[in-house]
Structure 1
Amino acid sequence: MKFEVMTTDQIAARIADLLEEQLKQKPDSVLGMTTGSSPIKYGIFQEWIRREEAGELDFAGATFVNPDELIGIAPDHPESYYTFMQEHLFQHLRTKRGAAHIPDGSAADLEQECKRFDQVLRDLQFVDWQLMGLGLNGHIAFIEPADSIPVTTYVADIYEQNRPSGSVHFSTPEEVPSRTITIGLEAVMKSRSIVLVAAGANKADIVAEAFQGPVTTRVPASLLQLHPNVTVILDEGSAKRLAL
């Protein structure tokens, strides 16, 4: 596990550099995406769009995969991860080819949808380069803390603190999704390269717990200590409790 500490305004460029290296080595890479606040707050997707426009990134051979989706809303719902990716990244890329692979949270048979998505991942031979964020409770993708974590894609309950909130697109609290489809440990551990970003002093405790504490399913990110190729991108605030 490699740690890189930088200012927040350097994060987007550093992650874009890592992505650029990946696509030069393997233009047909399977790229794992992430939603949440980090890609937008730190300008990560915006930097990819800028570099593609400048001819520095070419996604023509790449395949995009998202590891999770909210359950109970259609893909075209304003709060779906499908919509998030379309609005913030995919519709802006000129060299992207083909549809992204994202679980369908509106599927009538969720168990079958989990199996279908697992087959998609296996057909792709899993992900070459996975971008991840880190939740305040240690979740990665939407793998929430639990006594045990499934190996394959599964339906997960969302911790209350992580449910979408404050959206005008939900009329009542009951409409806010409380479950997701998310990848399991197989997909995480078979990702050939993982880049995780966590910034802000409010992440300092969970960063230290996840990456220098015991490996436990109660802190899902701690399982990345067992992965052979993880780069953790931090700022000074999130890194302040690490013994680097």
Structure 2
Amino acid sequence: MRIIIEKDYEAMSKKSAEILAEVVNEKPEAVLGLATGGTPVSMYRNLIDMNKEGKIDFSKVTSVNLDEYKGLSGDHDQSYRYFMNNNLFNHINIDKKNTYVPNGLAEDIEKECSEYDKRIENLGGIDLQLLGIGNNGHIGFNEPDDFLHMSTHLTGLTEGTIEANARFFDKKEDVPTEAITMGLGGIMKAKKILLIASGENKAEIISKLVEGKITTQVPATLLQVHPNVTIVVDEAAASLLKK
């Protein structure tokens, strides 16, 4: 597990963008596992700038997103498809036909999940998986539990996750209570993992991720056994690390 500590959020975002760009520049047809949320927004802005400057070419890249809310269409302004289009895809030279996000309106959720995993397998797997981390240690929407799912699945969201995401909606009651998410097995199959976090509110969970015991009650700790994980954090998020 490689840990990179940058001064602040903007420096963390720039470094993360450089790491992703390095993967694409080495393999132009790379398969990228992408994430949503507040943390990667500036990283995506950096990638947009790099694309405009000719430092990275997305024309042959395929992307697969971690998750999507159940019940939201791709044109809903809080869906993750909308987020990705608005924050990245609309501004770079990627072919949107090669960008995949789970279908939150799928009538047969089980079939949607199975086909999503098959698509990733047919693509040859994920070259770089980008991850954020929840305050309770969830990655994707894999919440703390006694048992964790290997494959893409429908999951209920914890009260804490719903409250954390309520800031993006008009009111808490509007936050979906279920989501389709890539499973821990799918995440762990990625050839390389890049996890990013910033702020004092992430310091405790980053400490558990890096230095705590592996437990399904903190799903992100499973990353400790992955052979190629890079964690990029700012000084605030790294403030409780002992080393």
Which band: TM-score by shorter chain? Answer: over 0.9
Measured on the aligned residues, the alpha-carbon RMSD in Å equals: 1.5
Contact persistence 2:61–2:94 (CA under 8 A): no
Structure 1's consecutive aligned runs of 4 or more residues displaced over 2 angstroms after TM superposition are 94-99, 166-170
Instruction: Give the structure 2 partner of residue 24 of structure 1.
Output: 25
Instruction: Give the structure 2 partner of residue 71 of structure 1.
Output: 70
CA distance in 2, matches of 1:130, 1:188: 7
Number of residue equivalences: 240
Q: Cα distance 1:198–1:186, how it changes in 2: closer, same or farther (>3 A)?
A: same
State the SS of the aligned residue for 2:146.
Answer: coil
State the SS of the aligned residue for 1:38.
Answer: coil
Instruction: Give the structure 2 partner of residue 5 of structure 1.
Output: 5
Q: Cα distance 1:168–1:66, how it changes in 2: closer, same or farther (>3 A)?
A: closer
User: How big is the shift at 1:156?
Assistant: 0.9
Instruction: Give the structure 1 partner of residue 82 of structure 2.
Output: 83
Q: Cα distance 1:167–1:226, how it changes in 2: closer, same or farther (>3 A)?
A: closer
User: How big is the shift at 1:96?
Assistant: 4.0
User: How big is the shift at 1:76?
Assistant: 1.4
User: How big is the shift at 1:127?
Assistant: 0.7
Contact persistence 1:61–1:97 (CA under 8 A): no
Contact persistence 1:72–1:105 (CA under 8 A): yes
- What is the identity percentage for the equivalent residue pairs of Structure 1 and Structure 2? 37
Q: Deviations over 1:177-219 (max 9, x none)?
A: 0011111122111100011011111111111112211101110
CA distance in 2, matches of 1:200, 1:169: 24
Q: Which runs of 5+ in 2 are unaligned?
A: none
Tell me which amino acid in the other structure corresponds to 1:39: P
Instruction: Give the structure 2 partner of residue 165 of structure 1.
Output: 166
Contact persistence 1:59–1:97 (CA under 8 A): no
Instruction: Give the structure 1 partner of residue 150 of structure 2.
Output: 151
CA distance in 2, matches of 1:201, 1:167: 20
User: How big is the shift at 1:98?
Assistant: 2.7
Tell me which amino acid in the other structure corresponds to 1:86: N
Contact persistence 1:62–1:97 (CA under 8 A): no
1:49 aligns to 2:48 (yes or no):
yes
CA distance in 1, matches of 2:131, 2:63: 14
